[in-house]
Amino acid sequence: MTRRGNEAIIEQFLADGITHMFGNPGTVEQGFLDALEKYDDFRYILTLQETVAVGVADGYARATGGPALVQLHSGVGLGNGIGMLYQAKRGHTPLVVIAGESGVRYEAMDAQMAADLVAMARPVTKHATRVTDPSSVLRVLRRAVKIAMTPPRGPVFVALPLDVLDRPNDEPAQPSVIPHTACAPVPELVRSAAALLAGAESPLILMGDGIAASGAQEELTRVAELLGADVWGVELSEMCMDGRHPLFRGQLGHMFGEVSRAVVEKADAVLVVGTYLFPEVFPDLVTPFRPDARIVHIDLNAYEIAKNHPVTLGLMADPKATLAALEGELARSMSPGDRDAAALRLRRGAERTGGGTGDDSLLAAFAQRLAERAPEDLMVFDEGLTAAGVLGTYLPPRLPGHWFQTRGGSLGVGIPGAIGIKLAHPGKTVVAFTGDGGSMYTIQALATAVREGVGAKFVVCNNRSYRLLDLNIEQYWRERDIPLHAFPRSFNLAHPDLGFVDIAKGMGVEAMRVEKHGQVDEAVERMLLDDRPFLIDLDTE
């Protein structure tokens, strides 16, 4: 029985366990969108702008482990999705992105909608391609899933011309093969790594989302404890270590290399794992490490190892398997003196932590109350930017897979991301914190939450400004000895007053403005009351 490509691709998605398509439709995708209606076990999540489609899919893929499927409309839809695809690429989100186009036979016409989709997608994807023959449609889609899911993961783009999908397709739909990459280096190299780290007097661990991707949170924590090493997140956007652990010190900056330099310059041994150095917007161009520092870098992503500065030992391997092996080797080889010194550093870490912030802001009161009232397994998307410090105090990463931030410096991720996460975990409470600035890039995602019955919760930290830009320009002035003066007017969002309660209500989302401490308890109760979307406009000015 021959079916057309339009049906065959859906059978292929189902064979891969893909049951959701996040998108925004157009005429050149009508063939497979029409076919989709015949599949009851397949859900099309309509978003009203392509940035939102990619953002919701990104959250869904991060919460499920991926892959997530995105449908964009030809060149115009792909164009709208590019910024969020950049975010997904930097964050290694496994997305399969498809876009229709009128057909191979119209190629020479250069008519309306014509665009080189593959060229557009290439810089923001791990791989981009176009199907041109009806006998290789499913083959190419399986390859897309495999590439998206193989570390370093990332978005993959496939252009699907309408005339190719209209043709009969007799390819079998079968699950894509995703190679296992849970590998540790040969024992000799693990011994070398242990020897470089064991006797350190001021050891340091720099870690990132590669830990979460390989599920290595426990192994990382045990190695940190064995070494008595401070741990810093670098380009960290998921839960890689309990944020309350005495050795967890926070995140290196996103903006300025000097912040990272101050953290790393004294370390005599550094373990870098599951991240890349250095990710700031203005990184140090010379190595910030001590000239005699012994540096071990472990990652499945060989491109990132020694990308910018030399390391002593680079190991292309899975963080989980390698850290487990390293733990065993350290336990075996560390001298009693090394162990005592490490234990002392761990105790000092414990003395450092504890105690509240003494912060009496509305934001702190809200975050504290939410932490008290929300379920233990609350899922948080923290796109709070200048609110992130306070949020990290009261709602730190605690459980693997329950805490998310944006990647690559992109804004507008919080609201769609929380919707994707809630779709993946309908039984959990999911709260997104975003800014007044950040929220406005993708606010129409609220309509998708209502349409699809996704009860995520949203908190807009509304300071009526692009406050982070104020802080960054102050640094710019300081570095150049420019006297402080008024911030550029383009950083100010005070006029018009963005009415988030009305905006939310206009899309069917109940909402409440919180301006006083006395309103915090009621707001938190209302937010947690039921499983419907709810928005809080929180005054953080």
* From 27-35, 165-173, 463-471, 523-531, span contacting ligand TPP (CB under 6 A): 463-471
Beta bridge partners of 414: none
Kindly indicate which of the ranges 195-203, 222-230, 392-400, 464-472 contains the residues binding ligand TPP, using the contact rule CB under 6 A: 464-472
Kindly report the length of the chain.
Answer: 541
Please pick, from the candidates 91, 246, 253, 438, the single residue that binds ligand TPP as defined by CB under 6 A.
438
The footprint of Mg ion on this chain (CB under 5 A) covers a number of residues equal to 5
Q: Is 467 in the site for ligand TPP (CB under 6 A)?
A: yes
| Contact track, ligand TPP, 68-107, x by CB under 6 A | ---------------x------------------------
Give the count of beta carbons closer than 10 Å to the beta carbon of residue 41.
7
| Beta-sheet strand order (sheet of 269-273) | 248-251, 230-233, 203-207, 269-273, 294-299, 313-316
Nearer to Mg ion, 417 or 437 (CB): 437
Helix (H) or strand (E) holding 365: helix 362-373
CA gap 464, 473 in Å, rounded: 17
Q: Indicate the DSSP class of residue 172.
A: P
410 sits near ligand TPP (criterion: CB under 6 A): yes
51: partner contacted, choices ligand TPP, Mg ion, none (Cβ within 5-8 A by kind): none
| Dist. CA 441–CA 50, nearest whole Å | 11
According to DSSP, the β-strands at 168-169 and 3-4 are: antiparallel
Which is closer to ligand TPP, CB of 268 or CB of 470? Answer: 470
Residue 66 contact, options Mg ion, ligand TPP, none, Cβ 5-8 Å cut-off depending on partner type = none
463 near Mg ion, judged by CB under 5 A: yes
Residue of 77, 253, 397, 435 that binds ligand TPP (CB under 6 A): 435
- Asked if 436 is part of the footprint of Mg ion (rule: CB under 5 A), the reply reads yes
Quick one: tokens of 245? Answer: 């652990």
CA dihedral of residues 52, 58, 61, 63 (deg, nearest 10): -90
74 phi and psi, to 5 degrees? Answer: 50, -155
Site string for ligand TPP, 364-403 (x = CB under 6 A): ---------------------xxx----------------
Q: By CB under 6 A, tell whether 412 contacts ligand TPP.
A: yes
With CB under 6 A as the rule, give the number of residues binding ligand TPP.
19
Cβ-count burial 354-388 (b if 16+ within 10 Å, e if not): eeeeeeeebbbbbbbbbbeebeeebbbbbbbbbbb
- In this complex, which beta carbon is closest to ligand TPP, that of residue 214 or of residue 406? 406
Q: Interface residues with Mg ion (CB under 5 A)? A: 435-437, 463, 467
Site of interaction with ligand TPP (CB under 6 A): 83, 385-387, 409-412, 435-438, 441, 463, 465-469
